[in-house]
Structure formats: C-alpha cells, structure tokens
Amino acid sequence: MKRLFPILSIVTAFLLAYALYQALVVAPTDAQQGDVYRIIYYHVPSAWTAFLLFLINFVASIVYLIRRSPKADMIALVSAEVGVVFCTIVLVTGPIWARPVWGIWWAPGDIRLTSTLVLWLIYVSYLLLRRFSNSAQTQMLAAALAVFGALDVPLVYFSIWFFRTQHPQPVIGGGGSMDPRMLHTLLINWLAFVCFAFLVAWSRYRLEQLQREIEQAHAMRSLVGSAVAAKASLPLSRSSR
C-alpha cells in the first residue's frame, strides 16, 4: 500500500496538469459567456467531489454505528474534512462565476447554491463537534450527527424547492446541451479532482492513524509508569512483601 502512494501522487499531478491544459486551452470558448465560463471546470468537479466525500462520510458513519470499527470512524473524519475543503471551493467559485454571468454575487432563492451552503454548515458543525468533544465517545456522537446531517440534505433541498431557482439545469441528466469537448474536459477535471481528494484524504488518514498510535502509546506508558510508581510507594503491596 505504501508504495502505491508515490505512484498515485505522480498520476494525480499529471492528471491535474492535463486537466488544466484541457480547461484553459483545448476546451472551446462558450458562445454566450465567453472565457468566464471556464470556471465551470473547477466549480462543478469540486461540487461533485464534495458530494462524493459526504456520501462516503455517511456510509462510514453508519458502518461505525453498527460495527464500532475505528477505521470507519477515521474514514468518516477524513472524508468530512476534505469534503468541507472542496465544498468551500464550490462556495467561493460560485459567486465569482455568478457575478459576471447573472450580475449578482449570490442568489438567495437558488436551490443548489443555498443547499450547498447548508450542507457546508452541517459538516462544519460536524467538525466542530469533533473538535469540542474530548471524551472517549466523540466518535459515536460524531457518527450520530453525521446520520442527522445526511438525512437533513433532502429536506433542505425540498424546503428551498418552492423558491424559483436561478441555476442552470444540471449538465448531465438534466436535458441541457453541452459541447462534447466541454463535457470531456469536465469529466477529465472531475477525475483529476477525485484523485487529488483521495490523495489528500489518504495522507490525512495516515496522519490520523499515527496520531492515534502516539496517543495510545502515551496512555500505555503513563499506565505502566503509574503502576510502577504504585508498587514503589505502597509498602504493603504484594511485590514488596
């Protein structure tokens, strides 16, 4: 597994470079929006990657609640952290794109924009809970909150449903028409982003693993140390007799 990491890093670097070239040079300019539209190659793949990571977080949390495996908990933590980063990219690139195209930074009634913001809020509160809770039950509490968050997402979507939406229809499966070269570039970018997200999540996972091992080692040492100290300080204990 460890030898795979550098290979994946190199592949990701190549993919990202190729995707950047495709996005900025090869993909045709949009007929209405001009070159501004090229931000789509960052906005949309980031969104898909973030949703994928949140889905992984949900599944890992369910697995943790059933099996109580620390691995599932670490996967949930890591996917939420990386997912929040990608979700932030979506929320930053969205207004940058909206300003020249729609003429406004933010459309409060827009369904996808608003539900992405709420999604971001939910997962930030998830990370806050993990930060603030220091008991041994943090993992279980976090997994419970992740279930709440995931179930909240469809309700958020429907609650904003009534407002008129300003977003373009989904590119894939929404009946919208798109130049095949644009779609190709978009998918290449998505692949590169998913690889990159996976790479970051993997190194974060290893870091978390090491951190937990260190904590365990510290706990063990202090246990052993206090046991020795107890033996030395109690003259009536069995060993001194």
Cβ distance 43 to 97 under 8 Å? yes
For position 169 contacting other proteins by CB under 8 A, the verdict is no
| Cβ 115 to other proteins shortest distance, Å | 9
What is the crossing angle of helices 138-159 and 40-67, to 10°?
130
- Positions 61 through 90 that interact with other proteins (CB under 8 A): 65
Q: Which is nearer to other proteins, 96 or 124 (CB)?
A: 124
Decide: helix, strand or coil at residue 132. helix
Paired with 34 in beta bridges are 30
Please, what is the Cα angle at 194 between 192 and 197, to 5 degrees?
110
| Cβ 121 to other proteins shortest distance, Å | 4
d(CA 241, CA 232): 12
| Cβ 209 to other proteins shortest distance, Å | 23
Structure tokens at 67: 């099996």
d(CA 19, CA 16): 5
For position 159 contacting other proteins by CB under 8 A, the verdict is yes
For position 125 contacting other proteins by CB under 8 A, the verdict is yes
d(CA 28, CA 45): 18
For position 214 contacting other proteins by CB under 8 A, the verdict is no
For position 135 contacting other proteins by CB under 8 A, the verdict is yes
Q: Which is nearer to other proteins, 17 or 155 (CB)?
A: 155
Residue count, binding to other proteins (CB under 8 A): 29
For position 140 contacting other proteins by CB under 8 A, the verdict is yes
Q: Which is nearer to other proteins, 5 or 148 (CB)?
A: 148
Q: Give me the sign of the Cα torsion angle 208, 209, 210, 212.
A: positive
Position among 96, 118, 183, 200 found at the interface with other proteins (CB under 8 A): 118
For position 187 contacting other proteins by CB under 8 A, the verdict is no
Structure tokens at 226: 């206090």
Q: Which is nearer to other proteins, 153 or 183 (CB)?
A: 153
Please, what is the Cα angle at 124 between 123 and 126, to 5 degrees?
60
Q: Up-side HSE of residue 170: CA atoms within 13 Å toward CB?
A: 8
d(CA 76, CA 66): 14
Q: Give me the sign of the Cα torsion angle 187, 189, 192, 195.
A: negative
| Cβ 103 to other proteins shortest distance, Å | 24
Q: Which is nearer to other proteins, 36 or 141 (CB)?
A: 141
For position 111 contacting other proteins by CB under 8 A, the verdict is no
For position 31 contacting other proteins by CB under 8 A, the verdict is no
> Contact positions toward other proteins, by CB under 8 A?
65, 118, 121-122, 124-125, 128-129, 132-135, 137-138, 140-141, 144-145, 147-149, 151-152, 155-156, 158-160, 162
